[in-house]
């Protein structure tokens, strides 16, 4: 059965993910390094992982598998989840795949270098209503694909 694993610390679409998962009766794991406000929802498991910086990522990777869906903006985590056979969706609705993860990792590294040199300032553009809509549509598509047993 498909489960959703949400890298929840800075995720702007937690409520949307829960709403879509509820429609399909899927379990949702909200995983964070810090505390989250409890949802009280019977399908949601709030997991607070103490310890190292990547502890939440490690928790997700240890449990996720084929047929599951990860929601994260963390590109290295996305790559690790893809390696486990899971589908991966960014909060803006952009799916990560084996075909695009290499470029995403490379661009992440280039941008980090440019920020370190002071050539580029800032990190990400603002989250928009169009991003939220794209996320909802793509999550619905990925869940239906997983329920059919189609590969991620």
- Cα 31 to Cα 10, 21, 44, 51, 81, distances in angstroms: 11, 16, 10, 13, 14
3-147 classified as CATH 3.90.350: no
Per-residue pLDDT, 63: 97
pLDDT bracket for residue 100 (50, 70, 90): confident
- CA–CA separation, 3 and 8 (whole Å): 15
Residue 49 has pLDDT above 60, yes or no: yes
pLDDT in tens, 72-92: 988 899 999 999 999 999 999
Q: Which long-range contacts (CB under 8 A, 24 or more apart) does 30-33 make?
A: 30/6, 31/5, 31/6, 31/7, 31/56, 31/59, 31/60, 32/8, 32/56, 33/9
Across 12-20, average pLDDT? 95
Q: For residue 151, what pLDDT is reported?
A: 66
């Amino acid at each position: 059965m498909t489960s959703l694993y949400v890298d929840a610390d800075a995720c702007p679409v937690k409520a949307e993910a829960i709403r879509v998962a509820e429609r399909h009766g899927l379990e949702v794991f909200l995983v964070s390094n810090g505390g989250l406000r409890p949802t009280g929802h019977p399908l949601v498991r709030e997991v607070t992982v103490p310890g190292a910086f990547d502890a939440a990522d490690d928790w997700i990777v240890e449990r996720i598998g084929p047929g599951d869906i990860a929601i994260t903006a963390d590109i290295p985590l996305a790559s690790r989840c893809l390696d486990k056979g899971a589908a991966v969706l960014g909060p803006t609705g952009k799916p990560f795949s084996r075909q695009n993860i290499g470029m995403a990792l490379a661009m992440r590294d280039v941008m980090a270098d440019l920020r370190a040199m002071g050539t580029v300032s800032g990190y990400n553009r603002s989250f928009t209503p169009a991003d939220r809509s794209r996320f909802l549509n793509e999550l619905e598509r990925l869940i239906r694909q997983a329920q059919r047993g189609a590969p991620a």
